Structure 1
Amino acid sequence: MARDLSALFAPKSVAVVGASDDPAKYGHAVAAQALRAPLRRPVHLVNRRGGTVLGRPAARSLAEIGEPVELVVVSVPGTGFEEAVDSALECGARAIVAITAGFAETGAAGLARQRAVAERVREAGAVLVGPNSLGIADNTTELYLASDTFAPGGVALLSQSGNLALELQLRLAPHGLGFSRFVSLGNQSDITLVDLVEDCAGHAGTSAIAVYAEDFGDGRAFARAAAAAGKPVVLLTAGRGLASARSAQSHTGALTTSADVVAAACREAGVELVATPREMTVVLAALGTRVRAGGRRTAVFTDGGGHGVVAADAAEAAGLEVPELGGATRRELRSVLWEQSAVGNPVDLAGMGEQDPRSYSAAIGALLGADEVDAVLMTGYFGGYAAAGGGLGGGGATLAAGEGRAAGEIVGHWRARPKPLVVQSMYPASPSCRTLADAGIPVFSSTEDASRALAAMASQRPGGRPGPSPLPPAAPALRDPGYHAVRGLLAAAGVPFPAAREITGEAELLAAAAEFPGPYVLKALHLLHKSDAGGVALRLAGRDDLLAAYREMHARLGAPSYSVEAMADLSDGVELIVGVNRDPRFGPVAMVGLGGVLTETLHDVAFSLAPVPAGRAGRLLRGLRTAALLSGVRGRPAVDVDAAAEVVERITTVAAAHPEIAELEVNPLLVRPDGALALDCRAVPA
């Protein structure tokens, strides 16, 4: 259940403990901001010396105020923090914003203090932001409790960086965007990122949620909250290096990085993952239009061949499609353009804009009206005629006026046919481009930004995404991580394996050979990477070959036990890998990809939070770079991807139900035209 944060964002009264006249102190800046809306709610300033602060009487303590205070900001030295929090709770505070630093970020002792304070706040039925926060603001309720002023708008910014918030404000301003709320997350000792996402999801004044986070806390809960938000969530995160400091003991552990995990969670939750403040601005500007694409088919429209080719490449690099236009759309374009114009895709005016600037609007109208076009990217000189004013010889004023009329007509076409339309211009600040931007059409100076904006519009879907699958109930712990025990665990869940028997000597080996026919496989057990150590022998035709292989392998490796298995038919098969690695923030994370001995060489893998439903597993497999191998190449038959996907679901469900397993891997999973068969497995205890 979402927590009640009404006292945090819409309090009936506010007190700033540590308010100061000293501009060098944070209590000065917060107090000055709090007083920007003195008529909205009572604002009390508290300074232990009393007197006046910012020209207003200051109480020496919260008790001296003489009335309850619903929200208290604490900006005092660390030695007085606990006393200030206790006083706030005694005065009836339901929300506390802790600016004070020096807690979990300083080590174990600081963490213990932080936990003790958070526990006292929760026991009192209150909520706490921080400590180590830089404050909060809510423009919709005129609550200003941060050191800086944020322009009003529809973006809720939840950030672990104050400077990044300031940069984002500067970047959003040219797009006419501002903030509904700002929350500096601090150490998240009580109120977490998940709590804030859930609250902003239900906030009428918020149209998009922007997050900068280095520590997600419960990453899976964040993904669930973002998926359920019903509005865009854009994430900028840092520190996406190796998943953990420990040495990976499987291919899955070696290939899975924190970046893969975050990207998988964002993909399943419908979160737009960005790498820089600039990219976050681009995505927010695009999603602020609230126009979504029905697909990725993009028409590139330009007034110069070079701009068109560059834009087409950038669009495809962003994951969009730039297909050749069909006959009906070409004829419609021909009816409004001149003979020299190219109408394939990119569509190029080829100089017509200089003869008639309104050819821009005519072409845009035709493209927006085409059923085969999901989105339009206009790129090039548009805006340059108005920017030049009376230049361009004697016709400059005429061209500028015509371009201005074209801008208005483009807005009209877009409103009549609301498909995603993004503009890249050499003159984004020109009057014509401002006409487009003021109407809600995103305008950028760079082609890659325009393409990224369109990709964001195409990836967002009404109703959001389902989010990560729920974790299954924990199963009884696997006490033996040995090969055959793991094999048995997976087989009990419906994962098919060839016949096999564990043996410790020649008599047991010969008994195993009598149980099922050859050819055979012999594996030395209790080795980390059997193939690399020469601990696997394949295609042993009969018992004599099996016995000879055993004697040679045992003399060389001296393994305590071996596995005798039926040799699978490898013809017409493709080897896959399926693994699950347990991430400290997001829990079990699955990896699927091309398997066998080429796994770490080709790195053709995809990730998802586990467990992975069969439908999602099939999409991951068909999205691999080498997916053509699954469909059949050079006369080979297609393999049963659906059967493989069902096995992926079973493997990842087992792993998700066993938190005592850090890594679980099936490699290879042989997929043939008639089904899937697991040929080897490994588990690494947590």
Structure 2
Amino acid sequence: MGRDLSALFDPVSVAVVGASDDPAKYGHAIAAQALRANGRRPLHLVNRRGGTVLGRTAAPSLSAIGESVDLAVVSVPAAGFEEAVEEALHCGARAIVAITAGFAETGEAGRARQRAVAERVRAAGAVMVGPNCLGLADNTTDLFLASDSFTPGGVALLSQSGNLALELQLRFDPHGLGFSRFVSLGNQADVTLVDLLADCARHEGTRAIAVYAEDFGDGRAFAEAAADAGKPVVLLTAGRGDASARSAQSHTGALTTSADVVSAACRDAGVELVTSPRELTVVLAALDGGRRSAGRRVAVLTDGGGHGVVAADAVETAGLTVPELPAMTRGLLREALWEQSAVANPVDLAGMGEQDPGSYARTVAALLAAEEADAVLLTGYFGGYAAADGGLGGGGTALAHGEQQAARLIAARHRSTAKPLVVQSMYPRSPSCRILAAAGVPVFDATEDAARALAATAPGRDGGHLTPLPAPAPPLRASGYLDTRRALAAAGLPFPEAREVHDEEELRSAVAEFSGPYVLKALHLLHKSDAGGVALNLAGPGELLAAFREMHARLAAPAYSVEAMADLSDGIELIVGVHHDPRFGPVAMVGLGGILAEALHDVAFALAPVPADRAERLLRGLRTAALLDGVRGRPAVDITAAAAAVESITTFAAAHPEIAEIEVNPLLVRPGGVLALDSRAVLA
């Protein structure tokens, strides 16, 4: 169910503590906005000097109000913050919006103060946003407790940046977007991003949730809440660099960056990940009408060849396809258009729009009706005829009227179908384009934005998969090579025969238990191959003994592993690992492995555990996936067994939170199954 945040968004009464007549103070801006509610609920302004604020009588303290207060906005100097919170709780506050700064962001002493306040708030059964936040607003309940006003709409914005909210306000306007709620996250001492996301998912006035976050707190919980939201969640985040990989002790850790983790979490949770406020706006504009395409096939309609080619490239870059239309559809288009029009896809009117603006509407209708098109992109000059000064020459007025009529016909056709239609126009604010936008057709001035919008409406390549964490297993007592090997084998992962040896006598005993060829590995070295601690394809006991003597003289390892050499001739080497991310928990990586794992960097990521069906899709999404199906006479390998191995490894790792990094490299996949040839684990 989640936490009850009703007092935050629809309180019975509100008090602004620190309200001021001084425009330089934040308490002035909050109080001025709060007054816009125009009597929706009792509003009390509190200033320690009393008097009046913004023409209203101000109480010198919360207690002086003489009645309970449901929500208190605290905007006072840091020195008086705890006292103000305590008084608010004493006066019955169920919610606190803490504007005051100077806590966790200042260092350990500030963090300690912040923890103490949050504990006091929770002990009183209340909730607190902040501290160090910029307030909140809810347009559906006339609650205005931020320094700026926000156009009403269906987007809830949860943000660690106030300026970003102002930019989005400007970007939203041309697309008819607005805000249901705005919450400045602040330090998240009590109410977290996850709490707010879950509440906005339940909020009837919110159709989509936009998030700007630099600190997820519990990233795994964020992904779970987003996966369960039942509404579009669009994330803009920062700090997705590779710093987290610098201290990694395994290939998995070295290859896993923060960007990989965030991208995997978003894909698995079905979150749209964007890189800029502009892209965030584009995606929200595309999703606002609730339309989703059934597939990834796009029909492109243009009135100029250049626009059509550029749009087709942009669509394919966005991960969609622009397939050639079949003969039947081409024939129908040919009957409706003139001879020089191109009808294969992109469909090019080739100037017919200047003679007959209605050709736009007829062609859009035909493409929306075509079974082989999942979405339609109209790109180019449409809108120009009705732009300022009437468009082209003396016929501009007639063309302008004709184009606007075409826009009305397109809008009507759009309303009668569930397929997405997106428009890119050189004149996005023209009267014709405004007709389309008013009917819910997203209109953009940039081709790449239109393509990204269509990608947002398309079914994900492999999105919306988030498997719950398994119950924790008894922790590993040791993480040596053979310890890890035995634990993974017990979890169902097959390995070749192996024996631990310490001297030549034990080596001879091992040879008697299974036949060669052999592999010799020096133990207690994390990267055995790099240190020259692995000898392969030792034909018999003699070669094995010689290799042992040479390796021991050079490395003096305390122990060695003698193993049966696997047949590598018809197999593919993969790497499968799990890295424990401090925010998102266990993150799995699969890819082409062996000694080239880091050089090739052909890997894919997902939140662990990864079920077998999901693992197979990850493997088939690799750049080198064709190798798995056999090339140049090599046989196809058992990808089903490989996927099952991925499930075993990632489930094991997810059940052992004490493991910081674990990997199997290489995992040999052959036509008849898999063998784990090497493994390593690093405990946290």
Tell me the TM-score range normalised by the shorter chain: over 0.9
State the secondary structure of the residue aligned to 2:423.
strand
User: Which deviates the most, 84-93 or 241-250?
Assistant: 241-250
- Taking the TM superposition and a 5 Å limit, the aligned residue runs for 1:34-183 are 34-183=34-183
Q: For residue 588 of structure 1, what is the amino acid of its counterpart?
A: P
Tell me the residue number matched to 1:668: 666
**Mapping 1:193-592, distance limit 5 Å:** 193-242=193-242, 244=244, 247-459=247-459, 467-592=465-590
**Offset at 1:534?**
1.6
Q: Which moved more, 1:382-391 or 1:506-515?
A: 382-391
Give the alignment's TM-score, normalised by structure 1. 0.98
Letter of the 2:659 partner, please give it: I
Q: Say which is worse superposed, 565-574 or 236-245, in terms of deviation.
A: 236-245
> Share of identical aligned residues, percent?
77
Structure 2 distance, partners of 1:303, 1:551, is 77
Q: Single out whichever of 200-209 and 537-546 deviates more from structure 2.
A: 537-546
Shift of 1:460: 6.4
| 1:13/1:71 contact within 8 Å kept | yes
Q: Is the alpha carbon distance of 1:514 and 1:442 closer, same or farther for their aligned partners in structure 2, counting shifts above 3 Å?
A: same
Q: Distance in 2 between matches of 1:682 and 1:575?
A: 16
Q: Distance in 1 between matches of 2:402 and 2:223?
A: 49
Matched, 1:615 2:617: no
CA distance in 2, matches of 1:169, 1:540: 69
Question: Contact 1:156–1:180 (CA<8 Å) still a contact in 2?
Answer: yes
State the SS of the aligned residue for 2:508.
helix
Mapped contact 2:20–2:31 kept (Cα < 8 A): yes
* Number of equivalenced pairs: 684
Alpha-carbon distance between aligned partners in 1 of 2:79 and 2:100, rounded to the nearest angstrom: 10
Distance 2:258 2:463 in 1: 22
- The letter for the 1-side match of 2:557 is A
CA distance in 2, matches of 1:338, 1:118: 71
Q: Distance in 1 between matches of 2:329 and 2:515?
A: 64
What SS does the corresponding residue of 1:36 show, helix, strand or coil?
helix
**What is the alpha-carbon distance in structure 1 between the residues aligned to residue 405 and residue 389 of structure 2?**
14
Contact 1:243 1:583 in 2 (8 A): no
Aligned counterpart, 1:594 = 592
Give the conservation status (yes or no) of the 8 Å contact 1:243–1:256: no
- For residue 245 of structure 1, report the CA deviation from its aligned partner: 7.1
Shift of 1:465: 6.4
Query: C-alpha distance in 2, partners of 1:159/1:446?
Result: 26
Which 10-residue stretch deviates more, 69-78 or 472-481?
A: 472-481
The more displaced of 405-414 and 268-277 is 405-414
Question: Which of 632, 640, 648 is the matching residue for 1:642?
Answer: 640
Deviation at 1:531, TM superposition (A): 1.3
- Tell me the alpha carbon deviations over residues 500-530 of structure 1, each in whole angstroms, 9 at most, x when there is no partner: 1111111111111111111111111112211
Go from structure 1 to structure 2 and tell me whether the alpha carbon gap of 1:151 and 1:206 turns closer, same or farther (over 3 Å shift).
same
**1:585-638 residue CA offsets vs partner (Å, 9 max, x unmatched):** 000100000000111111110000111111111110011111111111112121
Q: Return 349-358 or 155-164, whichever deviates more.
A: 349-358
Structure 2 partner of 1:684: 682
Aligned mates of 2:619, 2:189 — CA distance in 1: 40
CA distance in 2, matches of 1:466, 1:388: 45
Cα distance in 2, alignment partners of residues 279 and 465 from structure 1: 19
Contact 1:220 1:468 in 2 (8 A): no
Q: Deviations over 1:275-330 (max 9, x none)?
A: 00000000000000211000001111111111111111110110101111111111
Deviation string 1:217-268 (CA, Å, 9 cap, x unpaired) is 1101111111111110000000011253761110001010111111111001
Deviation of residue 391 (structure 1)? 4.6
Partner SS for 1:394: coil
Question: Does the 8 Å CA contact 2:637/2:669 hold for their aligned counterparts?
Answer: yes
Q: Secondary structure at the match of 2:458?
A: helix
**Paired residue secondary structure (1:234):** strand
Over 3 Å counting, the alpha-carbon distance change for 1:245 and 1:67 in structure 2 is farther
TM-fit CA distance, 1:38 = 3.0
Question: 1 CA distance for matches of 2:115 and 2:348?
Answer: 63
The amino acid that maps onto 1:631 is D
In structure 2, how many angstroms separate the alpha carbons of the residues matched to 1:460 and 1:674? 32
* 1:104-162 deviation digits (Å, cap 9, x = unpaired): 11111111110110111111110000000100000000000000000000000000000
Question: What amino acid sits opposite 2:39 in the alignment?
Answer: L
RMSD: 1.2
Q: Distance in 2 between matches of 1:513 and 1:330?
A: 72
The structural deviation recorded for 1:466 is 5.1
C-alpha distance in structure 2 between counterparts of 1:311 and 1:659, whole Å? 47
Corresponding letter in the other structure for 1:362: R
The one-letter code sitting in structure 1 at the alignment partner of 2:633 is G
What is the distance in 2 between the residues matched to 1:86 and 1:245?
Answer: 43
Structure 1 stretch 590-599 or stretch 346-355: which is displaced more?
A: 346-355
1:94 alignment partner AA = R
| Cα distance in structure 1, aligned partners of 2:375 and 2:678 | 47
Paired amino acid for 1:208: A
Question: For the Cα contact (< 8 Å) 2:522–2:560, is it kept in 1?
Answer: yes
Contact 1:292–1:460, Cα closer than 8 Å, also in 2: no
1:664 maps to a residue whose letter is I
Query: Counterparts of 1:12 and 1:331 in 2: how far apart (Å)?
Result: 65
Deviations 1:313-348 (A, max 9, x none): 110110101111111111111121111111111111
Specify the code of the residue in structure 1 equivalent to 2:262.
V
TM-score under structure 2 length normalisation: 0.99
Contact 1:389 1:400 (8 Å CA) reproduced? no
Structure 1, unpaired ranges of 5+ = none
3-state SS in 2 of match to 1:393:
coil
Partner of 2:414, secondary structure, is: helix
Superposed CA deviations along residues 625-660 of structure 1, whole A, max 9, x for unmatched, are 111111111121211111111111110111111121
